[in-house]
């Protein structure tokens, strides 16, 4: 029995080492390939430049960074309240008979390939924005125009894509809140709504926040869906109806025909994306520590 347990321990250790080494090798490869163009072009010029024109060897990725952050922020604004509300409904309000189909549908959302979401946005969402949303905005700004490929389209599709992550993890965090919390709140005279809003959700806040962080990572790293519906125009957006290009979308779209210098610039984008995600994770960990740990 001891030999069996030791073999399992060794296997787990080897798996951990392989995973760590793989991540390290990928990181080294990305930095080794992308650093030369960063050093040659200038890190500050590369990050703050507003013109991305690889054919002229002009590499300014600020429009790509703004596009990525705008689409991600829009997805979080739409997806986080919706996801948390759905998690509260499933764990605290819905009966077991009702919750079952809802959970199955949410799990199904997680299994749909991102390219399918992209096609849905391309066929349904983009024309809807052009035909129905644009006239509303034009009442306030008659000069505004859009083809439908926009920050808004990307944000809506990404919000749908991150819902399963937020709902599943938030529901687990809310369900894990001890039953005594609910009983004590109701005994003190609070109604069900007050108990949910003022006791249960605050008690599960660290677990809910974890779901938001994972969802944010999914949104930032998404490629195919945003590639199809954001327009892929490397420009500084003026409104949510403007087309944008994202960091991941630019890499995916241009890598196939990139020359040596252009390819190095795309790997340099990968370095910037890597650092952005690292900084966001560090910030998230700091916030979660301040909130008192993870449920």
- Band of residue 291 on the pLDDT scale cut at 50, 70, 90: low
Q: Residue 248: which region, alpha, beta or left (left: phi > 0; alpha: psi -120 to 50)?
A: alpha
Distance in angstroms (rounded) separating the CA atoms of residues 283 and 66: 19
H, E, C per residue of 13-77: HHHHHHHHHHHHHHHHHHHHHHHHHHHHHCHHHHHHCCCEEHHHCEECCHHHHHHHHHHHHHHHH
**pTM assigned to the model:** 0.88
Which of 94-98, 156-160, 235-239 shows the lowest mean pLDDT across its residues?
A: 94-98
Helix 151-175 × helix 62-88 angle, to 10°: 40
Q: What average pLDDT does range 196-224 have in this prediction?
A: 88
Closest among 12, 29, 17, 21 to 264, alpha carbons compared: 29
pLDDT in tens, 25-40: 999 999 999 999 988 8
- Band of residue 256 on the pLDDT scale cut at 50, 70, 90: confident
- Band of residue 1 on the pLDDT scale cut at 50, 70, 90: low
- Map tokens 């196939």 to a residue: 256
Provide the terminal-to-terminal Cα distance of the chain, rounded to the nearest Å. 34
Distance in angstroms (rounded) separating the CA atoms of residues 245 and 150: 9
> How confident is the model at residue 95, as a pLDDT?
83
**% of the chain with per-residue pLDDT over 90:** 47
Q: Tokens representing 104?
A: 């199955």
Domain ranges of the chain: 2-290
> How confident is the model at residue 214, as a pLDDT?
87
Q: Could you tell me the fold of the domain covering 2-290?
A: MetI-like fold (1.10.3720)
Contact assessment for residue 157 and residue 125, using Cβ atoms and an 8 Å cutoff? yes
pLDDT in tens, 4-24: 788 888 899 999 999 999 989
């Amino acid at each position: 029995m001891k030999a069996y347990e030791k073999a399992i321990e060794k296997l787990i250790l080897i798996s951990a080492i392989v995973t760590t080494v793989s991540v390290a090798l990928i990181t080294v490869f990305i930095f080794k390939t992308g650093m030369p163009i960063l050093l040659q072009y200038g890190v500050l010029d590369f990050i703050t430049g507003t013109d991305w024109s690889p054919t002229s060897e002009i590499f300014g990725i600020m429009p790509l960074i703004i596009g990525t952050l705008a689409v991600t922020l829009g997805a979080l604004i739409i997806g986080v309240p919706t996801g948390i509300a759905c998690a509260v409904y499933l764990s605290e309000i819905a009966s077991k008979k009702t919750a079952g189909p809802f959970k199955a549908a949410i799990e199904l959302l997680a299994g749909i390939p991102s390219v399918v979401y992209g096609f849905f946005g391309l066929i349904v969402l983009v024309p809807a924005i052009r035909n129905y949303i644009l006239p509303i905005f034009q009442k306030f700004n008659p000069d505004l125009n859009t083809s439908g490929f926009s920050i808004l389209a990307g944000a809506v599709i990404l919000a749908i894509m991150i819902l399963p992550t937020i709902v599943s993890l938030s529901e687990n965090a809310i369900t894990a809140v001890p039953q005594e919390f609910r009983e004590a709140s109701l005994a003190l005279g609070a109604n069900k709504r007050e108990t949910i809003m003022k006791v249960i959700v605050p008690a599960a806040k660290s677990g809910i926040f974890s779901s938001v962080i994972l969802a944010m990572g999914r949104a930032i790293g998404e490629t195919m869906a945003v590639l199809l519906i954001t327009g892929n125009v490397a420009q500084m957006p003026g409104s949510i109806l403007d087309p944008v290009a994202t960091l991941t979308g630019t890499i995916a779209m241009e890598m196939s025909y990139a020359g040596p210098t252009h390819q190095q610039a795309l790997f340099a984008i990968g370095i910037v994306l890597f650092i952005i995600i690292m900084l966001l994770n560090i910030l998230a960990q700091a916030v979660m520590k301040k909130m008192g740990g993870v449920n």
